[in-house]
Each structure stands twice: as C-alpha cells, then as structure tokens.
Amino acid sequence: MALPWHLYVMASLYLLAGLNHFRKPGLYLKIIPAYLPWHKTINYVSGAAEIIIAICLCFPEISAVTAWALIALLIVIFPANIYMYTDEKASLNTPRWLLMLRLPLQVVLVIWAYIYTDGLPF
C-alpha cells in the first residue's frame, strides 16, 4: 500500500523538528514549563520521539498506529504552547498574536495526524 505524499510532508516536518531539539536545545529548554523537572531530558526525549515517529510514519504497516503516537505526543507537548503564551521569557519574543494562533494550530496538527489513523485505535 502506497502512502499519500502529504504523509511524507508531515513526517519530514517532524523529522526536522526532532533534529532541531538536538541542534538547538536552548530554544526548547526555554519553553518547557518551569514546574516540570528534568528539562534537558524532556527536550531530548521529545526530540527523539519526533524523530522516531517521523521515521515510523513512512512505513505503511505501522503508519496508522504511529499517527496515534503522534497525536499523543501533540497532546503531551501542548502545555509548552500554553507556557509560551503565558510566560514572557518562554515566549522567545514572539508576538502574542502569533502565540495565540499557535494554540489552535495544535488542534489542526492533531486532525492532520488523525487522517492517517484509519479510525479508532481499537
């Protein structure tokens, strides 16, 4: 079964984002909510998760279950988006209107991933 081209686009975006966690960790460390411990570990684990998910999305046999893993990851990292919006240091000098737009964008990303799940997980 051939996968749609747009799935490869999504996988590429997550691969680049995941690699960036290792290339520029300081960027991500600033947006991890202060109440969470082990910021470096969280950064590297989430970056590795994005890389693994990106690669697994490209295999038809596991792309649907991997899309569910991506949805879970997007939900887990959503507090970082809220933290960026509510904390001035975490905002990285990004305009507030753009940070506000980023919040519903997460929903769009979840819907995009859901397209590849083949329906319910069970």
CA 3 to chain centre: 21
pLDDT of the residue at 63: 96
Domain holding 101, by residue range, is 5-114
pLDDT reading at 121 higher than 70 = no
Check pLDDT > 70 for residue 120. no
**Does residue 52 sit within a domain?**
yes
Q: Which two tokens stand for residue 34?
A: 């202060």
119 belongs to a structural domain: no
Number of domains observed in the structure of the chain: 1
Q: For 61-76, what is each residue's pLDDT tens digit?
A: 999 999 999 999 999 9
10 occurs within a structural domain: yes
* Cα three-residue angle 17-13-93, rounded to 5 degrees: 50
Q: In this predicted structure, what is the pLDDT of residue 119?
A: 79
* 25 in a structural domain: yes
For residue 122, tell me if it sits in a domain.
Answer: no
> Once rounded to an integer, what is the mean pLDDT over residues 31-51?
96
In the structure encoding, which two tokens stand for residue 100, read together? 């506000």
pLDDT mean over 109-122: 86
Mean local confidence (pLDDT), 102-116: 95
Does 121 reside within a domain?
no
The residue-averaged pLDDT of 8-30 equals: 97
Q: What is the pLDDT of residue 118?
A: 86
Residue 27 vs residues 1, 17, 59, 63, 121: alpha-carbon distances, Å: 38, 12, 30, 29, 34
The residue to which tokens 């999504």 are assigned:
10
Average pLDDT, the chain: 94
Spatial distance between the Cα atoms of 55 and 63, rounded to a whole number of angstroms = 9
pTM above 0.85, yes or no: yes
Q: Looking at the domain assignment, is residue 56 inside a domain?
A: yes
Cα dihedral 46/65/112/53 (nearest 10): 30
Nearest-Å Rg of the Cα atoms of the chain is: 15
- Is 85 inside a domain boundary? yes
Cα 60 from chain centre: 21
pLDDT at 84 over 60: yes
Per-residue confidence at 50, pLDDT binned at 50, 70, 90? very high
